Amino acid sequence: MDKKLLSILCCPVTHQGLSLARADMLNKVNAAISAGELSNRDGSKLSATLVEALVTDDARLLYPVNDGIPVLLEGESIGLEQLS
């Protein structure tokens, strides 16, 4: 993802900054998706694993990035409290 674009993006819910999710976080998220344990904020169970994602500064919300395009919709965000 373009660093300049990333520097101007913010979470539409919390207005916090966003950064690329690290590999260890993506691995945890993808394991939970594969186990059928993860839903987005709209309540839909996730079935497709993530290749790339953005995470809020407080690491509470994750936004998928599809084909290099961040999906910054509140309903598509993933509450990371589900991983605990």
- Residue entry with tokens 């939970």: 32
Q: Provide the β-strand partners of residue 66.
A: 69
Specify the pTM: 0.93
Q: What are the residue ranges of helices labelled H in the chain?
A: 3-8, 23-34
Q: Convert the pLDDT of each residue in 29-53 to its tens digit.
A: 999 999 999 999 999 999 999 999 9
CATH class of segment(s) 3-83: mainly beta
Q: What is the pLDDT confidence band of residue 6, given thresholds at 50, 70 and 90?
A: confident
Q: Are 18 and 3 in contact (CB under 8 A)?
A: no
- Show me where the domains of the chain are located: 3-83
Q: What pLDDT does residue 51 have?
A: 97
Q: What is the pLDDT confidence band of residue 2, given thresholds at 50, 70 and 90?
A: confident
